[in-house]
Chains A and B, each alone.
Chain A
Amino acid sequence: MERSFFSLARPQLIITITLLLFLLVGCRLSGQGKEPDNLQLYDYRDTKRLVRLLADAALVLAEEGKEGFAQFRRDRERWTYEDAYLYAYDVTGRCVFHGGMPELEGKELMDVEDAQGRKSLRMAFAAVQDPDNPHGWVHYWWNIPNRLYPVWKSSCHRLVTFPDGKTLLLGAGMANLAQERAFVKIIVDGAARQLAEEGAGALDDIKDPLSKYNLPGASIFVVSERGDTLMAPAFRFSASRNILDYEDDAGHTPLREAIVRLQGATETWVVILARNPQSMSLTKKGLYVRKIAMDGERIYVGATADLPKPSWMK
């Protein structure tokens, strides 16, 4: 086909200028678009959206005080989506706002227990003080309005101060939120901190199924440098086997690898490849390990986590 150099010049010019502008503006803007509020900690967009919702709601309450609740009720489309909603408690545990179950407003719920006996509100007040838990995450069984069965719920929290100086706990939760690597890191960091501060006596707390360290699918283990398993991942008793020599299904020893990496760091992530009866290829899991000194000895605290899987991957 005969074509002169300039026969297609006009559209080319427009597209070329658009692309060049895109490159120039992009390079110019790069570095200005940091994700707010440590959102890069999370992999899943549902988690990020929930943390953003909480941050936005906290701003409204900090500016408008309790008038903000009226706004939350009025503009439900903005402040409630799918299974996610906001709630707020004063420091005594009295519910002052509940976006999902308004009938709870006015009730004292500080000692309310979930189906397993966890005191979720007490855990939330503790979580916002926890330096290892930047968004005050708490996980518990809860009920979605109008549903018969309980669901596993994850909620983030922060303390908000009204213009009049009154402080309350603001939370936003969502049922069946995908397990983030950050959630596993939070419980392992918390367990490591408690063990470093209190010594082996903290092991009972960590093993307690009602404690904040109980996260489905992520069992904490504690092992000494010599290979003594102080807390096994699958049992509540201390197994005698040396889990440091655990081999994954690719024949690799991930804990040994983690220890090598921990020579120059205090925490690390390594990958475990495991056979899955539902898949022809090996499945990846993450292993998070933290190094601490406990009672004068070096020990390793860790847990496994499901890694986010690209949705196109079988």
Chain B
Amino acid sequence: MPPQSNLVYKLDDIPPLGPLLMLSVQQMMLMFTAATFPALIVREVGGSMETASTIVSITMIAAGLGSILQALRNRWIGSGYLCPNVCGPSYLTVSLQAAWMGGFPLMRGMIIFAGVLEMLFANAVRRLRFLFPPVVVGLVVAFVGINVISVSITNFFGQVYAGDSLRWQEMLIAAISLFTMVGCSLWGSPALKLYCLLCGIAAGWLAAALLTPEILSTLEQVHAQPFFSIPFLDVNLLDLAFSWEMVLPFFIISICSTLKSFGNILAAQKISEPERDGVDMVPIAKGLLADGLTTLAAGAMGGLAVDTSASNVGLAAATRSVSRWIAITAGIIFTVLGFFPKLSTMIATIPRPVVGASLVFAVSLMISAGLKEMFSEPLDQRKSFVLGLSCIFGLSTEFVPTLFAHLPTFIQPLFGSPLATTTVFAILLYQLFHLDQILGKTKGP
């Protein structure tokens, strides 16, 4: 984790206009990695291209506004950190299930419900500071990164669908892109260090154009898009529905999503305020409230649920630019692009290996930041067990996911993802293994 003095733009700094715009565009490019998720759902429930395009635009607008809200710091809402929103994959499966059962009105109704749940969880988080000693915080931050490994690596190798083959050209493109990012970050001039991701994306695009000229065929999608459109025009998007059957799946996913956002905002806090001793739960709770409200708003507007983005926090760490104004400007650009489908689709055609390289680059520093925090204080036997056991159970959800499908349904959410499992295990085990000390303190000598 970079110490405070090494930050180029600190949390409250307002960068000059040029760097501000460039750093915001850089963050925005990373936000695009998930921009097309809503189109997947619309296509699979038989929606038209126009509906897909509308929902992508609405989700982008909601994510952009959410990023702004998250970066604000006031009495009520917003963590005040650079922790932008994207349309994350957490809600994909349940959203599809809801859309399938009751169409888009039910999907949106349940997303609003999930947003309300997230806001309620946020309220409960305020008083839980005692649950997060450095070893648990570090573990959660590291697992925020680990959670994104499968998406990052499959993109890096250019694989779209399970079972498809790999191509050396795409691996080379990803390698060129990644090494450009890392190279600029390590050996570049101050400016190149700041814009290492953009340099890597540009190098990756160039390599892709040379090595895989057929990539131009993806531009066909751009051609079909209008230059400007207002996605709210379709009044049917205001229909809402609710189903008791969908309450449990959405409840479970909203817990997982809250845990994920908790980890992301916690990581943003550690990166933005490295001098802070311990965890400040107030901005985290306000950040979770902003996340829940954004999900609610996304549903109300007719989009898909949004989530905070781990890779964007990682990028902030890599560029040592954590100014909240970067998040606000990126949010504004992302929102505006929601009204310009041709431009947003054009940006979304970034070659898959380049997307993968961007994610790998951003996430790598997230993991090492977590490890540093974990080992910032000596590990005694109790902490070692907390660390080891939580890692084993957390990683097992990636290594043997089929195993947990045979558990009773009500326990399954505990093993939903490495991040959720590790967080819950680390919190519980830390308290359990320190129970004698905790009780001793309470009872006195």
Question: What per-residue 1/0 map shows which CB atoms of B220-242 lie under 8 Å from chain A?
Answer: 11110000000000000000000
From A34, A178, A313, give the contact of B163 (CB < 8 A). Answer: A178
Question: What per-residue 1/0 map shows which CB atoms of A211-232 lie under 8 Å from chain B?
Answer: 0000000000000000000000
Contact B161 A308 (CB under 8 A): yes
Q: How far is the CB of A252 from the nearest CB of chain B, in Å?
A: 5
Within B134-173, the residues touching A (CB, 8 Å) are 150-151, 154-155, 159-165, 167
Within A1-33, the residues touching B (CB, 8 Å) are 1, 3-12, 15-16, 18-19, 22-23, 26-27, 29-33
Q: How far is the CB of B151 from the nearest CB of chain A, in Å?
A: 4
From A1, A30, A271, A314, give the contact of B401 (CB < 8 A). Answer: A314
Residues of B contacting A35 with CB < 8 Å?
Answer: 214, 217, 220
Contacts A11-B189, A15-B202, A18-B202 given: A278-B164 contact, CB under 8 Å?
Answer: no
Contact B151 A312 (CB under 8 A): yes
Counted as pairs of residues, one from A and one from B, with CB atoms less than 8 Å apart, the total is 159
Residues of B contacting A263 with CB < 8 Å?
Answer: none
The verdict on A281 contacting chain B, using a C-beta distance below 8 Å, is: yes
The verdict on B361 contacting chain A, using a C-beta distance below 8 Å, is: no
The verdict on A165 contacting chain B, using a C-beta distance below 8 Å, is: no
Q: How far is the CB of B221 from the nearest CB of chain A, in Å?
A: 8
Contacts A8-B19, A12-B22, A271-B44 given: A311-B161 contact, CB under 8 Å?
Answer: yes
Contact B101 A250 (CB under 8 A): yes
Residues of B contacting A7 with CB < 8 Å?
Answer: 16
Q: Select the stretch in A43-51, A70-78, A128-136 that faces chain B.
A: A43-51
The verdict on B199 contacting chain A, using a C-beta distance below 8 Å, is: yes
Q: Is the interface of B mostly helix, strand, loop or mixed?
A: helix
From B16, B161, B191, give the contact of A44 (CB < 8 A). Answer: B161
Alpha-carbon gap, A7 to B89, bound state (A): 39
Alpha-carbon gap, A235 to B159, bound state (A): 37
Alpha-carbon gap, A149 to B269, bound state (A): 57
Alpha-carbon gap, A26 to B93, bound state (A): 33
Contact B160 A45 (CB under 8 A): yes
Contact B195 A33 (CB under 8 A): no
From B160, B346, B405, give the contact of A276 (CB < 8 A). Answer: B405
Contact A278 B161 (CB under 8 A): no
Q: Is the interface of A mostly helix, strand, loop or mixed?
A: loop
Alpha-carbon gap, A30 to B195, bound state (A): 27
Contact A178 B405 (CB under 8 A): no
Contact A282 B220 (CB under 8 A): no
Residues of B contacting A201 with CB < 8 Å?
Answer: none
Q: How many residues of A contact B (CB 8 A)?
A: 58
Alpha-carbon gap, A18 to B25, bound state (A): 13
Q: How far is the CB of B261 from the nearest CB of chain A, in Å?
A: 19
Alpha-carbon gap, A26 to B348, bound state (A): 11
The verdict on A200 contacting chain B, using a C-beta distance below 8 Å, is: no
Q: How far is the CB of A282 from the nearest CB of chain B, in Å?
A: 6
From A10, A30, A310, give the contact of B220 (CB < 8 A). Answer: A30
Contact B198 A19 (CB under 8 A): yes
Residues of A contacting B198 with CB < 8 Å?
Answer: 15, 19
Residues of A contacting B248 with CB < 8 Å?
Answer: none
Q: How far is the CB of A266 from the nearest CB of chain B, in Å?
A: 15
Contact A250 B161 (CB under 8 A): no
Residue of B nearest to A279 (CB): B405
Alpha-carbon gap, A33 to B219, bound state (A): 6
Alpha-carbon gap, A18 to B22, bound state (A): 12
The verdict on B190 contacting chain A, using a C-beta distance below 8 Å, is: yes
Contact A284 B401 (CB under 8 A): no
The verdict on B412 contacting chain A, using a C-beta distance below 8 Å, is: yes
Residues of A contacting B116 with CB < 8 Å?
Answer: none
Alpha-carbon gap, A42 to B385, bound state (A): 50
Contact B22 A279 (CB under 8 A): no
The verdict on A159 contacting chain B, using a C-beta distance below 8 Å, is: no
The verdict on B396 contacting chain A, using a C-beta distance below 8 Å, is: no
Residues of A contacting B2 with CB < 8 Å?
Answer: none
The verdict on B87 contacting chain A, using a C-beta distance below 8 Å, is: no
Question: What per-residue 1/0 map shows which CB atoms of B67-88 lie under 8 Å from chain A?
Answer: 0000000000000000000000
Residues of B contacting A91 with CB < 8 Å?
Answer: none
Contact A34 B18 (CB under 8 A): no
Q: How far is the CB of A235 from the nearest CB of chain B, in Å?
A: 27
Given contacts A10-B191, A33-B219, 6 further A-B contacts (CB under 8 A): A19-B25, A31-B222, A269-B46, A277-B405, A279-B405, A311-B159
| A-B CB proximity, top 4 nearest | A31-B223, A33-B216, A30-B222, A11-B191
